Structure 1
Amino acid sequence: MTHYLPRGRRLAISFAAAFIVAMSAGPTIAQTKQEPVPPVPESAAPTNSQDPYENWNRKVYRFNDTIDRWALRPVAKTYRTFVPDLIDRAITNFFNNLTEVRNFTNSVLQLKGESAIVAVGRFTYNTVLGLGGLIDVATALGLPERPEDFGQTLGYWGAGSGPYLMLPLLGPSSPRHLSGLGADVFVFPSPWNEVESPDNYYARGVQVVDKRADLIPAEGFISGDTYTFVRNAFLQRREFLINDGKVTRDPFASGDNEDLMLDDF
């Protein structure tokens, strides 16, 4: 028998789940490198002006790495083993299609009329012609996704990123990024709000595992200090998104950067 939770509690749980999805979709996934993260002496001064809390962030990173290594990654590997590629891709497409609502809303807030039209077109084509979003028809028709979130909207209107933060369970973030995630979940309309619990939570769980499984192949690109790699990948990816791919400077230049694969994060 289906049990229903109060709407406030339902939204709170959905909010937490959405943050976990963000963690799995971002560079935190890369933290599955099996070598332990080297500890940093308490007296060590930060080497990057955007990471003034590096000592604390590294401790949180090790905590997240342990959770991922012993819980999320094994489930994701099992998922990759038993779920056929065709079904895996359909699941990924379905959840990506739902984000077009967010993309449209934030495109409007950023006065990006073309991106807003693309978001509407993608959602329409993929929902109607793509069997409810299971097939990415829009990309085949020349309408690739233009991801927009409220963190990008804040950046568009001049809000600074703030210091780099590694959050327990939620992964890489910043004050602007974290505020944007909260607004995307609580303020803007989402198809998830129409899904009653517990189906909402089941779907969120599948989304997390699917995202984590899709990023397992990217682990091979990690080298060196995994904490630094994850931090730099996150900062570069956010800079790339906020500037619509027009990055004219290295947002985390510190002399120890890697040639990062942005598309994998």
Structure 2
Amino acid sequence: MLPFSMRTGALATALALSGMAPVVAGAEEADPLERMNRSIFSFNETVDKYTLKPLAQGYRYITPDIAETAVSNFFHNLRDVNNLANNLFQLKFEGAGKSLARLAFNSTFGLAGFIDVATPMGIERRGEDFGQTLGYWGVPSGPYLVLPFFGPSTVRDGSALIVDVNIDLTNRIDHVPTRNSLYGLLLIDTRSRLLEAEQIVTGDKYLFVRDAYLQRRDYLINDGQVSVQYDEDF
């Protein structure tokens, strides 16, 4: 289940690593646990440096691009089950319909999701998770929280993982070795897609990732209807 939760952190990290350096109003106030969070962040960075990153580099080196794309498509297809459920929880019936259509087309014509046929058809992914659902219905995020192994989160988003994990199809596989192998592959695939972008980060990486995560979550919960500010360098 670590790889599943990492997907949320990867979204924030990808934004942070894009070099946009978002400025989040009140970010310091949202992080009263900064001292503890920094310690956990440092631990996660050490784990990444000596395990995840080398594995991702090896995966990228030996895996053909077409195979990498197929693996990513497969996991995105599984993720559309969560997207469908959370769109319904938020009464976003258009988004739910698109998630259902993506599942139908990609699971059949896309050969179990290995080929993304829905996106070229104009059926874009409408990503939703239970943390977004809670935020949509007005549940406050609570303090920023860095979870061991899982990465950036908040009290609300961290608690919401319990629901998302129970919806996740991979978690319902009874054969433990198969389930763990899929989670491991998802983790490595997610990490490999961040290898180039991470070189852009400058300054305090903790603050960069924190601010990117908070801004990204606000953007997702409000369906892009937010005012984004950037620092003078950008």
Say whether the fold is shared (TM-score over 0.5): yes
Q: Residue 160 of structure 1 corresponds to which residue in structure 2? A: 140
Q: Find the partner of 1:126 among 106, 110, 115.
A: 106
Tell me the TM-score normalised to structure 2 length: 0.88
Question: Is the Cα–Cα contact under 8 Å of residues 28 and 171 in structure 1 kept in the other structure?
Answer: no
Q: After superposition, what is the alpha-carbon deviation per residue over 1:151-192, rounded to whole angstroms, capped at 9, x for unaligned?
A: 011011110001111121111010111121111112x36354
1:212 aligns with 2:198: no
Shift of 1:18: 3.0
How is 1:94-243 mapped onto 2 (pairs within 5 angstroms)? 94-186=74-166, 188=167, 190=169, 192-243=171-222
Give the length in aligned residue pairs: 226
Q: Residue 225 of structure 2 corresponds to which residue in structure 1? A: 246
Aligned CA distance change for structure 1 residues 211 and 154 (closer, same or farther; 3 Å): same
How is 1:14-163 mapped onto 2 (pairs within 5 angstroms)? 14=1, 16-24=2-10, 26-27=12-13, 48-163=28-143
Give, in whole Å, the separation in 1 of the partners of 2:49 and 2:98: 38
Q: Secondary structure at the match of 1:144?
A: coil
Aligned CA distance change for structure 1 residues 214 and 236 (closer, same or farther; 3 Å): same
Give, in whole Å, the separation in 2 of the partners of 1:179 and 1:115: 24
Q: Select the structure of larger CA radius of gyration.
A: 1
Deviates further, 226-235 or 21-30: 21-30
Q: Flag the structure with more relative contact order, 1 or 2, with Cα contacts below 8 A and sequence separation at least 6.
A: 2
Deviates further, 21-30 or 219-228: 21-30
Q: Secondary structure at the match of 2:176?
A: coil
User: Any unmatched runs of 5+ in structure 1?
Assistant: 1-13, 32-45, 260-265
Q: Secondary structure at the match of 2:118?
A: helix
Aligned CA distance change for structure 1 residues 30 and 238 (closer, same or farther; 3 Å): closer
Give, in whole Å, the separation in 2 of the partners of 1:104 and 1:258: 39
Give, in whole Å, the separation in 2 of the partners of 1:141 and 1:100: 16
Structure 1 outlier segments of 4+, above 2 Å: 16-26, 28-31, 188-192, 256-259
Give, in whole Å, the separation in 2 of the partners of 1:209 and 1:189: 18
Shift of 1:19: 3.0
User: Any unmatched runs of 5+ in structure 2?
Assistant: 18-25
Question: Is the Cα–Cα contact under 8 Å of residues 103 and 116 in structure 1 kept in the other structure?
Answer: yes
Question: Is the Cα–Cα contact under 8 Å of residues 28 and 172 in structure 1 kept in the other structure?
Answer: no
Q: Secondary structure at the match of 2:142?
A: coil
Give, in whole Å, the separation in 2 of the partners of 1:237 and 1:258: 19
Give, in whole Å, the separation in 2 of the partners of 1:163 and 1:257: 27
Percent identical among aligned pairs is 42
Question: Is the Cα–Cα contact under 8 Å of residues 80 and 213 in structure 1 kept in the other structure?
Answer: yes
Aligned CA distance change for structure 1 residues 189 and 23 (closer, same or farther; 3 Å): closer
For 2:4, give the aligned amino acid.
Answer: A
Q: After superposition, what is the alpha-carbon deviation per residue over 1:129-166, rounded to whole angstroms, capped at 9, x for unaligned?
A: 11110111111110111100000110111100011111
Shift of 1:220: 2.7
